[in-house]
């Protein structure tokens, strides 16, 4: 499947990744038909993640 992946400051790519798998009885797999980004998601482009520990 395709996934938007963060590789570092200014480096976000659409990569082919492994399909998800059910690992627990409470897991589900959903089909995403559309998505959007929030303005705060753009912090990743500059390498700033306020919740990430140093």
More confident residue, 17 or 42: 17
d(CA 43, CA 17): 23
pLDDT digits (tens, 9 = 90+) for 28-54: 999 999 988 888 778 877 877 777 666
Three-state DSSP at 32 gives coil
Mean pLDDT of the chain: 87
Return the number of other C-beta atoms located less than 10 Å from residue 13's C-beta. Answer: 9
Q: Do 10 and 47 contact (CB within 8 A), yes or no?
A: yes
Is this structure's pTM higher than 0.75? no
């Amino acid at each position: 499947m395709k996934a938007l992946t963060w590789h570092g400051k200014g480096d976000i790519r659409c990569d082919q990744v492994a399909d998800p798998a059910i690992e627990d009885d409470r897991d589900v797999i959903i089909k995403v038909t559309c998505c959007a980004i929030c303005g705060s998601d753009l912090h990743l482009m500059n390498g700033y993640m306020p919740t990430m520990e140093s």
